[in-house]
């Protein structure tokens, strides 16, 4: 009887609780979309972007079991693609005052959606090209190699003056990203992940995570599947990078440091390795918490004592909360499916 | 009789250690062939060479499933599995955190024809394939008696059932040649007898050729039609069960010489 109940439950794609949370999320997003509070809207858009990033990292690290830390690099590629493709030609002239932009890009002005897709495709192509040599490595070596890749992208972007405007960064990127765009992309990503992992290819990814030797003996081409997973992950990171560029309006290479990858890693670990629902929740909570704790950086008046603001205090508190969560809720956190 | 697997002058060295020395074997189609020998004799090494985990230092392995010879030494394990050679492992290697059903489902993945995009978009072609895979997986689970446990995690199964699940997963790849590495390890006499019957049954049902490593002599002598005996990487005897039991060198290898 118990076994039967379990079967019935696992056959459904989502259970009732997930469905209700999903409906509440949609309603909340609609309400936020129609408020006038730009600050809240901005944070909400950012949450959507981090949902995409968290799931993208989940795909490669949580589901395929490859410890990759190259996300900042793929985001940079996506962000610069969207920036270069959407900045109006006259703004490009203003941006590139040190050295003019490459002639064939000077008059490009694409719509937002095709630029986003292009951001994903270019990041995906890079993922494919990087993946081919790098995915022969395992564990720590893969982490080091992908980390190196992200740093190389950052340094290259700092020096390609006529393509990325170097360390000056790019300004006047049209602010296309809003709650609608970022969450539409987030929902597409959630759907993509759910259906991918439900299908035969997703199960093959999990098999690689569980036991590479057994997986290849069962006829799974390890290399092909790893590159596939890596490319998809890079594509999603590229799209998220593009959304972020358009949300912020200005980007420069130093935005895409290892700390950015670390934030995503955090979301993934808190969400639970291989847990899609958990990742969505943790992406929202982490992004919101980073903002809510911002008051800690400012001076606080407790009535009897006046505390002076210490810049960076928010990160200290945030890290402490994180440590506490990881220590006390470890079992729950890491339980994925 | 057609030869299904031919191992020719195969030598496998690891640095200075010779794990298998000039090994030759012909395995006929439709037979159950045993590979025995004391611990460390190089039995699993031979399985690893046949399934592509190791590339032999010398010699070659030829697989002939249907009148077309494939030289499989030098191919990757997944390519060999696609041709129709599948195996189980001495120290069980299931996909531990996945469900019993998923383990068998994954065994079917190498035969899938739809691409990844039709799987994500759940196009009719993929849905049809998935239904067939599911039907076949459930049948295989029923066949090995694990249908009740299909939603359990693989690592939560007791030892004997994990061994059966490994066989079901291997069968899901549609093998022509099945290699079983100590299928009866850790089983009591009753379970061993059931296993023997089970191996005979699947051999007929799935038209298999079976090559197995085993320490339980009751199992080996009971079902194998031909036996290869290995000691220190050398083939010391070959023949039917009676001949092996009466072979002086085999007795010496197992019991030692005065």
> Could you read off the pLDDT of A4-18 as tens digits, one per residue?
444 444 445 667 788
Segment B152-177 mean pLDDT: 94
Q: What is the pLDDT of residue A8?
A: 43
Answer whether residue B148 shows pLDDT above 90. yes
A197 touches chain B (CB under 8 A): no
B1 and B76 assigned to the same domain = yes
- pLDDT class for B120, splitting at 50, 70, 90? very high
Q: Does residue A4 sit within a domain?
A: no
Interface test with A, best of B93, B104, B107 (most A CBs within 10 A): B93
Asked if the Cβ–Cβ distance from B76 to A192 is below 8 Å, we say no
Asked if the Cβ–Cβ distance from B86 to A218 is below 8 Å, we say yes
In this predicted model, what pLDDT tens digit does every residue of A130-186 receive, in sequence order? 999 999 887 789 999 999 999 999 999 999 988 999 899 998 999 988 899 999 999
Domain count, chain B: 2
Answer whether residue B258 shows pLDDT above 70. no
End-to-end CA distance of chain A: 23
The nearest CA of chain A is from the CA of B120 a distance in Å of: 5
Answer whether residue B219 shows pLDDT above 50. yes
Q: Does residue B227 sit within a domain?
A: yes
Q: Does residue A309 sit within a domain?
A: no
Q: Does residue A263 sit within a domain?
A: no
The nearest CA of chain A is from the CA of B89 a distance in Å of: 8
Asked if the Cβ–Cβ distance from B122 to A199 is below 8 Å, we say yes
B116 and B79 assigned to the same domain = no
Domain endpoint, select from B125, B153, B174: B174
Q: Please give the residue that has the higher pLDDT: either A322 or A76.
A: A76
Asked if B81 and A218 count as a contact pair (C-beta separation under 8 A), the reply is: yes
Q: What is the rounded CA–CA span in Å between residue A276 and residue A189?
A: 10
The nearest CA of chain A is from the CA of B246 a distance in Å of: 36
How deeply is B58 buried, as exposed, middle or buried, from its count of CB atoms within 10 A (0-12, 13-18, 19+)? middle
SS3 content of chain B, % helix, strand, coil (to 5): 40, 25, 35
Segment B91-111 mean pLDDT: 95
B22 and B54 assigned to the same domain = yes
Asked if A260 and A87 count as a contact pair (C-beta separation under 8 A), the reply is: no
A12 touches chain B (CB under 8 A): no
B75 and B98 assigned to the same domain = no
Residue B23 belongs to a domain with what CATH number? 3.40.50.300
Answer whether residue A26 shows pLDDT above 50. yes
Q: What is the pLDDT of residue A12?
A: 58
The nearest CA of chain A is from the CA of B223 a distance in Å of: 25
Asked if the Cβ–Cβ distance from B106 to A195 is below 8 Å, we say no
In this predicted model, what pLDDT tens digit does every residue of A84-97 receive, in sequence order? 999 999 998 888 88
Give the one of B96, B105, B116 whose C-beta lies nearest to A210's C-beta: B96
Range of the domain at A82: 37-258
Asked if the Cβ–Cβ distance from A215 to B121 is below 8 Å, we say no
Among chain A residues, CA nearest to B90: A214
B102 and B155 assigned to the same domain = yes
B158 and B58 assigned to the same domain = no
Cβ burial A147-183 (10 Å sphere, 16+ → b, else e): bebbbebbeebbeeeebbbbeebbebbbebbbbebbb
B167 and B183 assigned to the same domain = no
B107 neighbourhood in chain A, CB within 8 Å: 218
Range of the domain at B180: 1-84+175-258
Give the one of B150, B151, B169 whose C-beta lies nearest to A218's C-beta: B169
Average confidence score pLDDT of chain A: 88
Q: Does residue B89 sit within a domain?
A: no
B182 and B79 assigned to the same domain = yes
Asked if the Cβ–Cβ distance from B106 to A220 is below 8 Å, we say yes
A201 touches chain B (CB under 8 A): yes
Domain endpoint, select from B133, B149, B174: B174
B194 and B239 assigned to the same domain = yes
Q: Does residue A231 sit within a domain?
A: yes
Answer whether residue A3 shows pLDDT above 50. no
Domain count, chain A: 1
Closest CA to A124 of A223, A197, A228, A196: A228
Considering all CA atoms of chain B, what is the largest pairwise distance in Å, rounded to the nearest integer?
70
């Amino acid at each position: 009887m118990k076994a039967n109940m379990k079967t019935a439950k696992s056959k459904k794609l989502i259970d009732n609780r997930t469905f209700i949370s999903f409906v509440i999320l949609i309603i909340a997003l609609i309400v936020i979309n129609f408020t006038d509070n730009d600050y809240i809207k901005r944070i909400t858009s950012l949450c959507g972007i981090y949902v995409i990033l968290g799931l993208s990292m989940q795909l490669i690290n949580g589901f395929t079991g490859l410890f990759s830390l190259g996300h900042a690099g793929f985001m940079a590629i996506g962000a610069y693609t969207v920036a270069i493709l959407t900045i109006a030609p006259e703004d490009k002239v203003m941006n590139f005052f040190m050295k003019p932009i490459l002639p064939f890009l000077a008059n490009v002005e694409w719509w937002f959606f095709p630029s986003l897709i292009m951001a994903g495709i270019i990041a995906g192509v890079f993922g494919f090209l990087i993946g081919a040599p790098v995915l022969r490595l395992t564990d720590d070596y893969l982490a080091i190699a992908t980390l190196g890749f992200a740093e190389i992208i950052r340094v290259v972007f700092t020096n390609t003056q006529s393509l990325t405007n170097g360390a000056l960064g790019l300004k006047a990127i049209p602010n296309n990203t809003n709650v609608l765009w970022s969450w539409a992309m987030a929902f597409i990503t959630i759907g993509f992940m759910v259906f991918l992992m439900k299908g035969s290819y997703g199960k093959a990814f999990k098999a690689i995570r569980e036991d590479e030797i057994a997986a290849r003996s069962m006829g799974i081409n390890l290399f092909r599947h790893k590159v596939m997973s890596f490319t998809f992950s890079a594509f999603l990171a590229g799209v998220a990078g593009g959304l972020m560029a358009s949300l912020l309006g200005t980007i420069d290479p130093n935005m895409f440091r290892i700390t950015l990858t670390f934030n995503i890693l955090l979301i993934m670990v808190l969400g639970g390795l291989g847990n899609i629902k958990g990742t969505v929740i943790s992406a929202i909570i982490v992004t919101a918490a980073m903002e809510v704790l911002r008051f800690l950086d400012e001076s606080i008046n407790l009535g009897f004592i006046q505390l002076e603001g210490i810049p960076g205090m928010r990160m200290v508190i945030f890290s402490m909360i994180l440590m506490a969560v990881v220590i006390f809720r470890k079992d729950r956190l890491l339980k994925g499916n | 009789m057609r030869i299904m697997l031919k191992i020719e002058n195969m030598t496998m060295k690891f640095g200075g250690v010779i794990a298998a020395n000039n090994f030759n074997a012909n395995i006929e189609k439709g037979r159950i062939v045993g590979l025995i020998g004391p611990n460390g004799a190089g039995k699993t090494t031979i399985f690893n060479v046949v399934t592509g985990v190791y590339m032999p230092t010398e010699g070659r392995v030829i697989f002939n499933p249907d009148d077309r010879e494939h030289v499989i030494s030098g191919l990757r394990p997944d390519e060999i599995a696609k041709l129709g050679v599948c195996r189980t492992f001495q120290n069980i290697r299931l996909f531990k955190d996945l469900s019993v059903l998923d383990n068998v489902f994954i065994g079917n993945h190498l035969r899938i024809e739809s691409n990844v995009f039709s799987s994500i978009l759940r196009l009719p072609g993929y849905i049809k394939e998935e239904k067939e895979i599911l039907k076949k997986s459930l049948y295989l689970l029923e066949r090995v008696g694990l249908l009740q446990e299909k939603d359990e995690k693989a690592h939560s199964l007791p030892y004997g059932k994990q061994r059966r699940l490994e066989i079901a997963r291997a069968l899901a790849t549609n093998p022509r040649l099945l290699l079983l590495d100590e299928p009866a390890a850790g089983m009591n006499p009753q379970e061993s007898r059931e296993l023997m019957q089970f191996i005979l049954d699947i051999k007929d049902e799935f038209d298999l050729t079976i090559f197995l490593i085993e320490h339980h002599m009751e199992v080996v002598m009971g079902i194998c039609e031909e036996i290869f005996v290995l000691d220190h990487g050398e083939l010391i005897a070959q023949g039917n069960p009676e001949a092996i039991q009466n072979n002086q060198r085999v007795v010496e290898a197992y019991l030692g010489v005065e």
